[in-house]
């Protein structure tokens, strides 16, 4: 049973200490969140020999970014942990996303990072490609239950043959539909590519030229394009640090994206830009049902659903089996926790992570503040306790069941993903504006990706 008294005591005992001026959150985290404790560069952990756990009083520090609800939940859980482990004092350090990675990278290179750090999964390759920054969690298996995690999930955090972090949650892209908009057109939400093509024509004829069954920005198109290619060819976009597709194969995927425009399935990029919205969830055409579908991260359900005008039903879609013979689509680790290689108290750190990520009490407090939990025990606790958003949980379940391809660590490199100058924006914007042929766009994409991969 979850110890309610301890949870309530933890809630009442939260204290925000000091000011954190150099840090900040992941996508969707509040930029207005309050900050706690010292900055990353002020960490007092200077490294040194690891100490054995003798039951003596020790102090460890943990850092994370996010919004206010994440801060509150994490501090509640940490306070509950300290009540059960009176010899372990946990100092906290948190803030919003802006400037956070810059501060963390400085502390990692200087060896002054906190004992435990919330990280983005690609930080492992970016900062610890040789295994020098983060502890191999395989060495802590007596204190942290790795059996709660699938091998596929753990493998995404293996670099230099070391498990350098514990994945907290996994995410991927999936279709979401405004069911009401499709009903207005007299059809059901599509479950196949054939039905999606037909929906494009129906929307145009029944509802008008401004109505589309799906809307995709440049980055959305990049991900759907790769989903399509992986479905057709059955291989990852990048493998062993090298682009795994020829220019001819890539051109096939680009022709598919052009066909979506030609069949009135998606509006052109000029049309979307002309809408004058900062993002699709803020676009009036999405709000009122003129754009009736998206291909988004499973965790993005809430913001898109809440943006719809009253009276419209938002539902999770299915993957299209007629894209190809294979189950295309990739997943990525949303967030992970890593223990610093130079911590003096690795066992205590592992014990804290076990409480936060696997224990019934800790995971009930943390809930889904970092996404749908990957930990089997945490997922059970949150499901049994009704702590998960049902739509997000349904989408996440479908993603993990279907999408098996990994995301390479450079896929989100700013030279590729950066808006408006990244390669993805150049390629898919150029195609939609008719500035590039599919052959030219394929050439630009191959050159841009290869340049980033070869670094």
pLDDT tens by residue, 162-190: 999 999 999 999 999 999 999 999 999 99
Q: Tokens 């009253």 appear where?
A: 310
Q: Please, are residues 77 and 109 in contact by the beta-carbon 8 Å criterion?
A: no
Half-sphere exposure of 330 (CA within 13 A, CB side): 23
Residue 64 structure tokens:
């994370």
Candidates 248, 243, 194, 273; CA nearest to 432 is: 273
Structure confidence at residue 260 (pLDDT): 98
Candidates 59, 39, 167; CA nearest to 110 is: 39
Structure confidence at residue 299 (pLDDT): 92
Structure confidence at residue 55 (pLDDT): 67
Structure confidence at residue 54 (pLDDT): 52
Q: HEC profile for the chain?
A: CCCHHHHHHHHHCCCCCCCCCCCECCCCCCCCCCCECCCHHHCCCCCCCCCCCCCCCEEEEEEEECCHHHHHHHHHHHHHHHHHCCCEEEEEEEEECCCHHHHHHHHHHHCCCCCEEEECCCHHHHHCCCCCCECCHHHHCCCCCHHHCCHHHHHCCEECCEECCEEEEEEEEEEEEEHHHHHHCCCCCCCCHHHHHHHHHHHHHHHCCCCECCCCCHHHHHHHHHHHHHHHHCCCCEECCEECCCHHHHHHHHHHHHHHHHCCCCCCHHHHHHCCCCCHHHCHHHHCCCECEEEEEHHHHHHHHHHCCCCCCEEECCCCHHHCCCCCCEEEEEEEEEEECCCCCHHHHHHHHHHHHCCHHHHHHHCCECECECCHHHHHHHHHCCCCCHHHHHHHHHHHHHCCEECCCCCCCHHHHCCCCCHHHHHHHHHHCCCCCHHHHHHHHHHHHHHHHHC
Structure confidence at residue 246 (pLDDT): 98
10-47 pLDDT, tens digit per residue, is 333 333 333 233 333 344 343 334 455 533 333 333 34
Structure confidence at residue 404 (pLDDT): 87
**Backbone φ, ψ for residue 304 (5° rounding):** -75, -40
Candidates 187, 194, 137, 192; CA nearest to 166 is: 137
List the chain residues with pLDDT less than 50.
Answer: 1-34, 38-53
The model's pTM: 0.84
Report how far residue 276's alpha carbon sits from residue 252's, in angstroms, rounded to the nearest whole number: 31
Around Cβ 136, how many Cβ atoms within 10 Å? 17
Q: Tokens 């690891």 appear where?
A: 50
């Amino acid at each position: 049973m979850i110890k309610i008294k301890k949870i309530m005591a933890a809630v009442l005992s939260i204290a925000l200490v000091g000011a954190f001026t150099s840090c900040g959150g992941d996508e969707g985290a509040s930029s207005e969140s309050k900050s706690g404790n010292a900055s990353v560069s002020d960490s007092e952990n200077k490294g040194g020999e690891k100490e054995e756990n003798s039951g003596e009083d020790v102090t460890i520090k943990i850092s994370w970014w996010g919004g206010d609800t994440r801060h509150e939940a994490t501090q509640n859980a940490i306070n509950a942990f300290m009540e059960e482990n009176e010899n372990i004092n946990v100092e906290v350090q948190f803030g919003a996303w802006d400037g956070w990675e810059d501060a963390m990278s400085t502390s990692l290179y200087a060896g002054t990072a906190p004992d435990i750090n919330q990280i983005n999964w690609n930080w492992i390759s970016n900062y610890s490609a040789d295994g020098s920054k983060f502890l191999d969690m395989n060495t802590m298996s007596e204190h942290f239950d790795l059996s709660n995690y699938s091998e596929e999930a753990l493998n995404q955090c293996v670099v230099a043959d070391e498990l350098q972090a514990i994945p907290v949650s996994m995410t991927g892209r999936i279709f979401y539909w405004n069911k009401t908009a499709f009903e207005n057109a007299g059809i059901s939400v599509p479950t196949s590519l054939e039905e999606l093509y037909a929906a494009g024509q129906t929307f145009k004829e029944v509802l008008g030229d401004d109505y589309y069954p799906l809307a995709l920005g440049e980055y959305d198109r990049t991900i759907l394009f790769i989903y399509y290619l992986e479905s057709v060819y059955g291989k990852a976009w990048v493998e062993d640090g090298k682009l795994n597709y020829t220019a001819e194969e890539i051109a096939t995927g680009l022709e598919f994206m052009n066909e979506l425009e030609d069949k009135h399935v998606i509006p052109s990029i000029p049309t979307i830009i002309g809408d004058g919205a900062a993002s699709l969830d803020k676009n009036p055409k999405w709000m009122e049902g003129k754009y009736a579908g998206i291909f988004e991260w499973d965790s993005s359900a809430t913001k898109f659903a809440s943006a719809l005008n009253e009276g419209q039903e938002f539902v999770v879609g299915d993957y299209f089996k007629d894209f190809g013979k294979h189950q295309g689509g990739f997943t990525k680790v949303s967030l992970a926790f890593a223990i610093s290689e130079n911590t003096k108290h690795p066992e205590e750190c592992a014990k804290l992570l076990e409480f936060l990520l696997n224990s019934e009490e800790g995971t009930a407090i943390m809930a889904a503040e970092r996404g749908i939990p990957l930990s089997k025990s945490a997922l059970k606790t949150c499901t049994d306790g009704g702590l998960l958003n049902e739509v997000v949980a349904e989408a996440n379940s479908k993603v993990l069941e279907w999408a098996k391809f990994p995301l390479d660590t450079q896929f989100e490199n700013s030279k590729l993903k950066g808006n408006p100058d990244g390669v993805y924006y150049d390629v898919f914007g150029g195609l939609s504006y008719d500035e590039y042929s599919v052959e030219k766009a394929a050439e630009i994409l191959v050159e841009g990706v290869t340049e980033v991969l070869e670094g």
